[in-house]
Amino acid sequence: MVIRKLVQGHALASDIAALASRVRAGDCVCLARAITLIESRKPEHRSQASQLLTLLNDAAGRSHRIGITGVPGVGKSTLIDSLGSFLTAQRHSVAVLAVDPSSSRSGGAILGDKTRMARLAADPNAFIRPSPSSGTLGGVARTTRETILLCEAAGFDIVLVETVGVGQSEIAVAGMVDFFLLLMLAGGGDELQGIKKGVMELADMIAITKADAANEGPACAAAADYKAALHILTPPSATWKPPVITISAVEGRGLDELWANFRKHRSALEAAGEFEAKRRDQDVRWMHAMLEERIRHMFFSNDAAMAKIEELERQVRAGITPPSVAADEAASMIARRP
């Protein structure tokens, strides 16, 4: 009944407190419904979501946040399924936030990660939340950061964030996690021609995937190429030199080395005082991102502003007004507001 009232927008403060309590107790059903609440764009739900996040804010930062990216087909879901199972076997609790691409026309998403992570989906110590990107720049779900906080409040000590692997999603995810893992394939021609320099500079580690027994040679050769390339790039931290390893998620090889590097990275940054500073910088950037979203929502939900925008669109389409001048005129409406 409490959750129904929350979803319908008739919740009292006591209902929000009850939901927060259930999330803290590790109730995954209530966690899923809490995430649904914060994903809602309805004004009344946003108010309730703010109350919920405030109640749970003291739990922020309790997990090890790991971002995983790579081109489609590199094996992100397969790796997460194997890595997550490897970690839960060591008594860790793992939350997976898999951001699916949304249709630019309908807004619909594939949301098929639970079928691609069958073993982890059945693990009682794991939680998988596929979320549509809903057109957010870079393909990262609008509320991914807030979802991380909820998962931490629910007691998950490891949060894996999988990106769609397109556009600017890598940059967005790198700005909200502690460790950024870039997955690459071997045997696809000149691998170094197919990866952006900026993405490699964001990576805390590169892993060559699908390094099964039959593909071990090409995988090792690709790893050597990436090691050489990293020497001429600026690493994300002066404290940490990104390693390059080979892994086979299907055969379970390299998972222990992968996890060992996650832990070494955190220890190195904590010893240098960089870890906490990085988290605080991410919080400030999160605030600015949310501010930009709120301003955008307020502007485009204003009837007078939308009428002016439509008029400016007609002028731009007709060639009467240059796009830059139209943008300046639209922006001036914000400056004139009290």
* DSSP letters for 215-268: GHHHHHHHHHHHHHHHTTS--S-TT----EEE-BTTTTBTHHHHHHHHHHHHHH
Residue type at position 205 = M
Architecture of domain 1-59: Up-down Bundle (1.20)
Q: List residues bridging with 98 in a β-sheet.
A: 130, 162
Q: Domain 282-336, what architecture?
A: Orthogonal Bundle (1.10)
Question: What digits encode the pLDDT tens for the residues 119-140?
Answer: 998 999 999 998 765 555 444 6
pLDDT of residue 299: 83
CATH topology of domain 60-271: Rossmann fold (3.40.50)
Instruction: Quote the tokens at residue 83.
Output: 């890595």
- Cβ contacts of 324 within 8 Å, gap of 6 or more: none
Q: What is the pLDDT of residues 150-180, one digit of tens each?
A: 999 999 999 999 886 655 667 778 888 999 9
At residue 143, the pLDDT reads 81
DSSP 65-105: EEEEE--TTS-HHHHHHHHHHHHHTTT--EEEEEEEPBPTT
Report the sign of the C-alpha dihedral through residues 184, 186, 187, 193, in that order: positive
φ/ψ of 193, rounded to 5, equals -80, -20
Give the residue range(s) of CATH 1.20.5.170 domains in the chain.
Answer: 1-59
Burial label for 274, CB within 10 Å (0-12, 13-18, 19+), is middle
pLDDT at 238: 83
Residues in contact with 322: Cβ distance below 8 Å, sequence separation at least 6, in sequence order: 316
Which pTM value belongs to this model?
0.84
C-alpha of 81 from chain center: 17
pLDDT at position 110 is 46
What are the tokens at 281? Answer: 């910088």
pLDDT tens digits, residue range 6-26? Answer: 544 455 678 999 999 999 999
Residues of the chain with CATH 3.40.50.300: 60-271
Q: What is the pLDDT of residue 134?
A: 57
69, 79 contact by CB (below 8 A): no
Q: Flag residues of the chain having pLDDT under 50.
A: 1-3, 7-9, 103-111, 137-139, 189-191, 193-194, 338
Q: What is the pLDDT of residue 109?
A: 44
What is the rounded distance in angstroms from the CA atom of residue 80 to the CA atom of residue 83?
A: 5
Secondary structure class of 25 (helix, strand, coil):
coil
Q: What is the pLDDT of residue 133?
A: 59
Residue-level pLDDT at 291: 84
Largest CA distance in the chain: 67
pLDDT for 103 equals 40
Q: What pLDDT, on the 0 to 100 scale, is given for residue 95?
A: 97
Q: Which two tokens stand for residue 187?
A: 């045997």
From the list 144, 53, 49, the residue with the least C-alpha distance to 95 is 144
Q: How many CB atoms lie within 10 A of CB 147?
A: 23
CATH code 1.10.287.130 region(s) in the chain: 282-336
